[in-house]
A and B are shown apart, each in its own frame.
Chain A
């Protein structure tokens, strides 16, 4: 089955030394590399920070623009990964292995046609 992992920002990105952040980024890099190599991750992308976002709001067919992200910075999505695994337990195990000091990983099954 196909799932999308929505990876939120963590407090670790705001706190701590550049050195310790660098270590976390290195671990994340290794995690993506390994899961891409074995075919688990079929697509993934890291997003620019939420303050770079602009949001279009559509109401009654008319659109307006908001100069910021949809969600609060704390919960903002920082990236995503599309994975192909046998079942939800396998997807949850991967979500829980995301190597950050703090953060959230939402596991959403994708609609497959």
Chain B
């Protein structure tokens, strides 16, 4: 990310809309015309599956917007929101969704049926939320899209092709949301975040399985996609309303712009993590920030921060892994070994360990640099 973007994000500017709003959508839209057509068709077909959908052909984009807000209504559980959205908006079959989430198809069908029944019986409306409800409702929609992305991107189980499709579906959903709500910065932030992650897809797997960020071959990264995603993020920032997805995207962008792990712009990351903490004060975000603190201010400052997280993260293996690496850098070898053992005790599955490690990408810093 250029300095300008971080500045824009941090200062909540009033620069206004870029000169050619909409043009970026075409330049950065993914080159999957056929795929899109397929979705358009299944979308129309699946539309009929959801209860209370008007008979008339879907007028875009209003009908789709109504559809996704209905699927992600807070009266429905998180799992049901995800299933309904994939079924009705993306147009996946129940079998496809069940396979992607590794659950029996019957379970998935039951989940969707129950959700549809609740929509009818409880009177969930088929319409966009009122403007005053939009921030809260949009958060739910973004969460569902991000969950779909996470399932595709961070899960090791299931066939890789299927997971990639799920990740692509989330990208498609995010790009639709952006087109429907062009004045909202957080959908742009989420789209940028997803595209920045996907631009690194090829570099993430090697012969030994998952390759973590510090060890990735950066020549495999899709520079064009990264540039496109960064432009989307710039557009989000220009709207002048900061949010967690924009910040997360900026964090990934900082990594994408570093020529090598060692050249990462740590001070800029630290600033972004502090901003993220403002929106999402979860201990895991603080643990991430602590790892960046270690890079900027040294391991002792980081350890102090991490120790404060013990009550919340004692059962989280990466808490111990981060402590271990910090202690090692401070020369406390035996304490570090104890923490390593604690981390191992808390995770049995090596694949899961690797995946969680990537979710906390920076937590691996020390292990790879020492």
Report the separation of the CA atoms of residues A1 and B73 in the bound assembly, to the nearest whole angstrom. 18
Interface residues on A, range: under 10
Q: Is A11 on the interface with B (CB-CB < 8 A)?
A: no
| B201-252 with Cβ < 8 A to chain A | none
Tell me whether B124 is interfacial, beta carbon within 8 Å: yes
* 17 CB < 8 A contacts A-B: A3-B123, A86-B125, A87-B124, A87-B125, A88-B75, A88-B122, A88-B123, A88-B124, A88-B125, A89-B124, A89-B125, A89-B129, A89-B133, A91-B123, A92-B74, A92-B75, A109-B121
- Chain B residues lying within 8 Å of A88, measured Cβ to Cβ, are 73, 75, 122-125
Residues of A within 8 A of B129 (CB): 89
Interface of chain A residues 24 through 61 with chain B (CB within 8 A): none
Give the number of residue pairs across the A-B interface with Cβ within 8 Å: 23
Q: From residue 255 to 311 of chain B, which have CB atoms closer than 8 A to chain A?
A: none
In the docked arrangement, what's the CA distance between A82 and B73, Å? Answer: 23
Chain B neighbourhood of A91, CB < 8 A = 123
Q: How far apart sit A109 and B125, CA to CA, in the bound complex (Å)? A: 13
CB-defined contacts of B74 to chain A, threshold 8 Å: 92
CA distance A10 to B183 in the complex (A): 40
Residue of A nearest to B120 (CB): A109
Q: Look across to chain B and name the residue whose beta carbon is closest to the beta carbon of A89.
A: B125
A3-B123, A88-B122 given; 7 more Cβ-contact pairs under 8 Å: A1-B123, A86-B125, A87-B124, A88-B125, A89-B125, A91-B123, A109-B123
Return A53 CB to nearest CB of chain B, in Å.
28
Q: Which residues in B have their C-beta under 8 angstroms from that of A92?
A: 74-75
The 6 closest A-B pairs by CB, nearest first: A87-B125, A1-B123, A88-B123, A87-B123, A109-B122, A88-B124
Contacts of A71-101 to chain B: CB distance below 8 A: 86-89, 91-92
Residues of chain A touching chain B, judged by Cβ–Cβ distance below 8 Å, are 1, 3, 86-89, 91-92, 109
Cβ-closest chain B residue relative to A90: B125
Residue of A nearest to B137 (CB): A89
Kindly state the separation between the CA atoms of A67 and B129 in the bound complex, as whole angstroms.
Answer: 46
B123: chain A residues at CB < 8 Å are 1, 3, 87-88, 91, 109
B238 to chain A, nearest CB (A): 32
Of the candidates B75, B121, B122, the one having the most CB atoms from chain A within 10 angstroms of its own CB is: B122
- For the complex, what is the distance from the CA of A89 to the CA of B69, rounded to whole Å? 12
On chain A, the residues within 8 Å of B124 by CB distance are 87-89
> Which residues of chain B are within 8 angstroms of A86 by Cβ–Cβ distance?
125
Nearest Cβ in chain B — how far from A19, in angstroms? 32
Most buried by A among B75, B123, B133: B123
Q: Which residues of A contact B125 (CB under 8 A)?
A: 86-89
Which A residues touch B75, using CB under 8 A? 88, 92
A1 CA to B124 CA, complexed, in Å: 11
Give per-residue flags for B73-114: 1 if the beta carbon is below 8 A from chain A beta carbons, else 0.
Answer: 111000000000000000000000000000000000000000
Considering only CB atoms, which chain B residue lies closest to A85 in the complex?
B123
B73 to chain A: which residues have CB within 8 Å? 88
Nearest chain B residue, comparing its CB with the CB of A2: B123
CA distance in complex: A88, B70 (Å):
11
Find chain B residues with CB under 8 A from A87 CB. 123-125
